């Protein structure tokens, strides 16, 4: 069976979505939509897609679709997801699902009321090394996890591809933080408390471009998440996320060269988990590109009824809550109990 899909938003990251969709035999992207009509036309030409729209309502009125892939920036997500959920059975929304918890909650409720599946394009948990780390922790390779440090630091000029990142008031936590909170939930378990400090390191950037967050997990494990877009590190690790995870019996370490080490009492074993460079991509982006392909392949499994959405819109509410609560923590210099933070908003 071939699933018919369309993409809304033909900007920087959508190009990766489209290349990856083109690799999947069970999917046909039949239409593209962007409010910038030139951009929509160019994207359709480059990816050889027949139908082009500048308006999402127009697209949804004229196309019979199994799924919609929303790849716009977050201020448009709620309207687009609510519209798409009323017309097709599966909607994918890029992260951040929304800029506010109220919007995200409304989107989840709207999808559920319409009987549509809402997924969030949260691809970091689909990166090859993180699938393997999650598998090993679940298999008991380190014993009960007690501590994790997950780190994303670099000094690459992201603003060339994503100029809006320089202008947004809430930047690092809402851009990269969401991925890191999701990884902490995937690898360790659910979170009870968060405290956070933010920094603005690059004077040309409006929002915070660095943060350090401390998570208290259910059962007592601790995670430190640290992120910076303004670090001098050689060799440049971008866009790798590194990790150090300790359990009662052993530890796992992932470095920026895709090297996963398993530290045990009797020594260290290691494996290289670098994914192949896709024909349509180039280093250093291949780890991220491979995770987009893995996520989209998972979407096909969901469409086929072979898998539960990972992550669903509902699951992603907690991830968004952690990022938003981190701003409150940083502002007030307080530790936030996340269930109470959410309860006050539901
Ligand atoms: N998961 C990841 O690894 C990853 C990486 C980069 C970006 N992103 C996310 O992807 C999203 C898009 O980022 P980007 O850098 O591609 O942005 P972008 O600005 O390059 O592209 C967004 C596009 O959406 C279009 N658009 C906006 N509102 C629209 C609407 N209502 N209808 C139709 N088109 C509309 C814009 O014209 C633009 O072409 C963001 O939410 C960003 O956080 C995720």
Chain segment 66-100, per-residue pLDDT in tens: 999 999 999 999 999 999 999 999 999 999 999 99
Write the pLDDT tens digit of every residue in 278-289: 999 999 999 999
Q: Are 316 and 117 within 8 A, CB to CB? A: no
Query: Which atom of ligand 1 is closest in space to residue 36's alpha carbon?
Result: 37
| pLDDT for 1 beyond 90 | no
149-172-146 Cα angle (round to 5): 15
**pLDDT attached to residue 138:** 98
Mean predicted confidence (pLDDT) in 246-253: 98
Ligand 1 pocket test, pick from 10, 11, 16 with the greatest ligand atom count within 8 Å of Cβ, gives 11
Confidence of residue 109 (pLDDT cuts 50, 70, 90): very high
| CATH number of the domain encompassing residue 176 | 3.30.360.10
Do residue 24 and residue 159 come from a single domain?
no
CB under 6 Å to ligand 1: residues? Answer: 8-14, 33-36, 39, 56, 71-74, 76, 80, 94-95, 121, 123, 162, 164, 175, 288
The CB density around residue 208, as the number of other CB atoms within 10 Å, is 25
In angstroms, what is the span from residue 236 Cα to ligand 1's centroid? Answer: 26
235 plus 304 within the same structural domain: no
pTM assigned to the model: 0.98
Please write the tens of the pLDDT for every residue from 314-334.
999 999 999 999 999 999 999
Tokens of 102: 């109220």
Residue listed under structure tokens 């909650």: 105
DSSP state of 312: B
Number of domains in the chain: 2
222 & 327 share domain: yes
Q: Is the pLDDT of residue 261 over 90?
A: yes
Domain hosting residue 269, numbered range = 125-274+319-332
For ligand 1, the distance from its centroid to the CA atom of residue 3, given in whole angstroms, is: 23
Mean pLDDT along residues 170-188:
98
CATH number of the domain that 111 lies in? 3.40.50.720
DSSP class per residue in 194-228: EEEEEE--STT-SS--EEEEEEEETTS-EEEEEEE
């Amino acid at each position: 069976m071939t699933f018919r899909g369309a993409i809304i938003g033909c900007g920087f990251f959508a190009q990766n979505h489209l290349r990856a969709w083109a690799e999947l035999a069970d999917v046909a992207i039949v239409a593209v939509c962007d409010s910038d009509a030139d951009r929509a036309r160019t994207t359709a030409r480059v990816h050889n897609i027949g139908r082009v729209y500048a308006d999402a309502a127009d697209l949804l009125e004229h196309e019979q679709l199994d799924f919609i892939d929303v790849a716009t920036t977050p201020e448009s997500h709620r309207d687009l997801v609510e519209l798409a959920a009323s017309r097709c059975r599966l909607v994918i929304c890029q992260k951040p699902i929304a800029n506010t918890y109220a919007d995200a909650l409304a989107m989840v409720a709207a999808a559920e009321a319409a009987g549509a599946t809402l997924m969030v394009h949260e691809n970091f948990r689909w990166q090859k090394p993180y699938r393997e780390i999650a598998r090993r922790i679940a298999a008991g390779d380190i014993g009960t996890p007690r501590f994790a440090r997950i780190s994303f630091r670099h000094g690459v000029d992201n603003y060339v591809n994503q100029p809006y990142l320089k202008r947004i008031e809430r930047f690092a936590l809402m851009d990269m933080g969401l991925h890191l909170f999701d990884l902490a939930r995937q690898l360790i378990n659910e979170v009870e408390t968060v405290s956070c400090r933010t920094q603005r390191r690059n004077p040309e950037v409006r929002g915070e471009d660095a943060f350090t967050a401390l998570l208290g997990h259910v059962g007592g494990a601790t995670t430190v998440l640290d992120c910076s877009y303004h670090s001098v590190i050689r060799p440049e690790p971008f866009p790798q996320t590194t990790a150090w995870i300790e359990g009662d019996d052993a530890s796992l370490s992932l470095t920026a060269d895709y090297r996963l080490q398993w530290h045990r009492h009797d020594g260290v074993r290691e494996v290289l988990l670098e994914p192949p460079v896709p024909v349509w991509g180039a280093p250093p982006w291949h780890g991220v590109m491979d995770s987009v392909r893995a996520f989209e392949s998972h979407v096909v499994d969901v469409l086929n009824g072979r898998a539960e959405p990972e992550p669903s819109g509902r699951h992603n509410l907690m991830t968004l809550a952690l990022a938003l609560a981190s701003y409150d923590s940083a502002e007030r210099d307080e530790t936030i109990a996340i269930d109470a933070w959410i309860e006050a908003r539901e």
